Structure 1
Amino acid sequence: MTTDLLLAALFLFATHAVPSWPGVRPWLIARLGRGGFVALHSLGSLLALGLFVWAYREAGGGEPLFVPAGWAAPLVVALMPLSFLLIAARVTSKAGEPDAPNPPRGVYRITRFPGSMGLLLWALLHLQATGDGRRVVLFVAMAAIALFAMAKNDWLLRRGAAGRAYRVETSALPFAAILAGRQSFRPGEIGWGRVLGALAAYAAMIAVHPWLFGVSPLYWL
């Protein structure tokens, strides 16, 4: 693990956190226009990602920080489909704006932050299944981005009456609102298309994982 990798991780986090900070996005759009803001944000995100990939590769294998438990890798394989489903459902389902959220439907009955929760689950699962320094930095950065997004969006929801009502009806923790009786589980609203799409994406990731990251998720079989 090197200083370059840590700095690249901080820069990657900043490119997600700063533009989405309340007030920053409208201020930038007012001065750059929506097209200019999108172009600047996209360029910054690509630059941050490229720098992180470069620093990650330059860091080498990374020194071991801990030895993962024997059950860690099978747990990742078993639960990653849920992460893919949460992210796929978020991408294909609109949540509305914080001051006017859409009524909870589909995956939003399970958690009000499906995309961020899917990313957080992805990071935490992989974090406990790896032990070298550079991958710990990678997954801690992913978890930090997801946690920041959830905290920021929850704060925005608290600012308006519609957002506060939406918070009462839903939960950040998956299935908590359903178990508390504030929501009902309706898998039909999620749809088989999203489930099959998430499983297909997961299968594709399993297939390319050895090529992209040098290790098969199924090495323990």
Structure 2
Amino acid sequence: MDYTHTWLAPSQGIMVGFLLMFAMAHSGLAALRLSLEKRVGARLYRVGFALVSLTLAVAMIGYFLAHRYDGVQLWQVQNVPGIPGLVWILSAISFLFLYPATFNLLEIAAIQKPQVHLYETGIIRVTRHPQLWGQVIWCLAHTLWLGTSFTLITSLGLIAHHCFGVWHGDRRLELRYGPAFLAVKERTSVIPFLAILQRRQTFMIQEFFKLAYVGVAIFIGLLWWAHPWLYRAGSAIHW
């Protein structure tokens, strides 16, 4: 019996396995950063971390694209006026939150020595954990668009991992920086704009006028242009 379009679709369990594997590798390597950097150096650690994370992420994205319509079709709103535009707007906003680390591209590529930073500018003024909210917005947009149980399960798994990342990230920064991080934590908030509304933080629009955000905008444009090709490539994968 073909269970592809039922709640028993095997791809849903496989996707959960992918998510768990990525979460353990990504968060596990992040937890071991200090000890591994002492052994192999900051640059080699960054390269290894990136290779593991990107390899698993690309495999997971490919599997998602190939099976995005598996499971039960919970709703279908793709032909509803306004929905395509809403999904694209939400997706674009999600990337502005997801990639605040683009401010240090040379460190990401290990051209400069990678370091741990205590940021308190730009998007961090809005929320201390922008990647959580970027992932939430991305998941909302894509779950709304696709409307399948496979996408819903994938989104819940991604959000759960990022919620764990909030606790894990704060814990690592507190262990590393102690009172300095606690001071930043007091002046920022996990919930977007909460610290600003409580007057613990000040929103400064000028901090968003950086080349990094121009790069994110260009990336969003390229992603929009490449979306049809990505879907075709995903559908061509048979696994």
TM-score (norm 2): 0.71
Distance 1:211 1:140, change over 3 A: farther
SS in 2 for 1:92: helix
Moved over 6 A (4+): none
1:9 aligns with 2:19: yes
Q: Could you tell me which amino acid in structure 2 is paired with residue 17 of structure 1?
A: S
The CA RMSD measured in Å over matched residues stands at 3.2
- Which residues of 2 match residues 14-163 of structure 1 at below 5 A? 14-21=24-31, 24-53=32-61, 55-56=63-64, 59=67, 61-67=69-75, 70=80, 73-92=84-103, 97=116, 101-102=118-119, 104-159=120-175, 160-163=178-181
Distance 1:31 1:65, change over 3 A: farther
TM-score (norm 1): 0.75
Gaps of 5+ in 1: 215-221
1:168 aligns with 2:179: no
Provide, for residues 151-191 of structure 1, a one-character-per-residue CA deviation record: whole Å limited to 9, x for no partner. Answer: 21223345521111111111111111111111222111111
Distance 1:118 1:60, change over 3 A: closer
How many matched pairs? 209
Gaps of 5+ in 2: 1-8, 108-114, 233-239
Distance 1:87 1:51 in 2: 19
Deviation at 1:77, TM superposition (A): 2.1
Q: Could you tell me which amino acid in structure 2 is paired with residue 173 of structure 1?
A: I
Distance 2:50 2:190 in 1: 28
Deviation at 1:125, TM superposition (A): 2.8
